[in-house]
């Protein structure tokens, strides 16, 4: 992925985040649709079939079992081609999760489509993460640099989406009917607390987004051979200096947001306030810091070894 394409995609992701927030603000029922599709329509279809006749009830049960066993069938296909990896057995767990959770949605709780959807996504996410980890660990340097580039690009797009979403949320809060009138202390404290949290999240996502851009430049300097060059070291040093400043900024921004929220705790609507530090920006900056320093040290060590040859 080129840097120009990454910048274009981040702009589109930010616009998508802002647009989706606006849509959900106008149509709140879309949120329910996001967490229940396609499980809820399938469960509704099974209920309708079961209510027609005994024969249709048997058909509904057969459809229920067949759909739940699709992941197990995928595991069987994989086992016929090669020996399944450890993470592939999660597909059997996925079938079990679908059987149990969909049964609960059908018999115990008609409104359990959300649990079916989230349970399936949880197992699928675990399988995908472990599969990618195995793929990364078995790659050579050039392939690993390419995979790292796509991983960083995906993280940047997620941050851009969150940035657009949070900017739209902050604008919505600031432009609420409460603003512009004489506010009671409870309302003004709540609005200021929300705006402080939004400003903190926006700043931290912007910091990560620019760090992803620098990390992409570093990964691009490895291509196409996957070798560490002087250009790579220069990019690593740039990423290191930025990571130091970014790590400091993330800590200070989080501290400032927490202090602002605590300053209005007496006038907050609920009488309490959530004080926290976001771990994702800290982990990203710390990881970039360690990687950049390791690359620079590795290049110096290799150059020193070349002097003895």
The predicted pLDDT at position 268 comes to 42
Kindly report, residue by residue over 11-25, the tens digit of the pLDDT: 999 999 888 888 887
DSSP 27: -
Spatial distance between the Cα atoms of 127 and 140, rounded to a whole number of angstroms: 22
The predicted pLDDT at position 259 comes to 84
Give residue 140's pLDDT band: very low, low, confident or very high (50, 70, 90): low
Average pLDDT over residues 137-141: 64
Domain limits of the chain? 1-27+140-309, 37-138
Contact 204, 246 (CB under 8 A): no
Spatial distance between the Cα atoms of 143 and 97, rounded to a whole number of angstroms: 35
The predicted pLDDT at position 300 comes to 63
pTM tops 0.75: no
CB atoms within 10 A of CB 43: 20
Kindly report, residue by residue over 181-222, the tens digit of the pLDDT: 444 455 566 677 778 888 888 888 898 888 888 888 877 776
DSSP 60: H
Kindly report, residue by residue over 29-83, the tens digit of the pLDDT: 776 666 677 777 888 888 888 888 888 888 888 998 999 999 999 999 999 988 8
The full DSSP string for 65-99 is HHHHTHHHHHHHHHHHHSPPPGGGGHHHHHHHHHH
Contact 240, 296 (CB under 8 A): yes
The predicted pLDDT at position 183 comes to 47
């Amino acid at each position: 992925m080129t840097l120009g394409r990454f910048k274009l995609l981040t702009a589109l992701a930010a616009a998508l985040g802002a647009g989706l927030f606006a849509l959900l603000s106008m149509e709140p029922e879309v949120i329910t649709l996001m967490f229940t599709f396609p499980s809820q329509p399938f469960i509704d279809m099974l209920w309708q079939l079961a209510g027609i006749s005994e024969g249709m009830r048997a058909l509904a049960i057969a459809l229920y079992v067949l759909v739940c066993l699709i992941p197990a069938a995928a595991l069987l296909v994989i086992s016929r081609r090669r020996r399944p990896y450890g993470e592939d057995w999660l597909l059997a767990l996925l079938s079990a999760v679908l059987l149990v959770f969909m049964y609960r949605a059908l018999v115990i709780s008609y409104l359990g489509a959300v649990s079916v959807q989230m349970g399936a996504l949880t197992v699928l996410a675990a399988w995908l993460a472990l599969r990618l980890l195995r793929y990364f660990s078995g790659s050579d340097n050039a392939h690993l640099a390419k995979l790292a580039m796509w991983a960083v690009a995906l993280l940047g797009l997620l941050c851009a989406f969150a940035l657009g979403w949070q900017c739209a949320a902050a604008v919505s809060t600031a432009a609420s009917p409460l603003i512009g009138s004489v506010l009671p202390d409870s309302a003004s404290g709540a609005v200021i607390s929300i705006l402080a949290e939004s400003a903190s999240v926006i700043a931290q996502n912007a910091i990560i987004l620019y760090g992803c851009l620098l990390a992409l430049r570093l990964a691009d300097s490895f291509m196409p051979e996957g070798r560490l060059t002087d250009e790579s070291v220069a990019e690593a040093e740039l990423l290191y200096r930025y990571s130091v400043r970014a790590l400091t900024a993330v800590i200070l921004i989080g501290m400032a947001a927490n202090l602002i929220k605590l300053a209005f705790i007496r006038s907050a609507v609920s009488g309490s306030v959530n004080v926290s530090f976001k771990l994702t920006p800290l982990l990203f900056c710390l990881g970039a810091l360690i990687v950049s320093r390791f690359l620079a040290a590795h290049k110096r060590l290799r150059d020193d070894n070349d002097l003895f040859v």
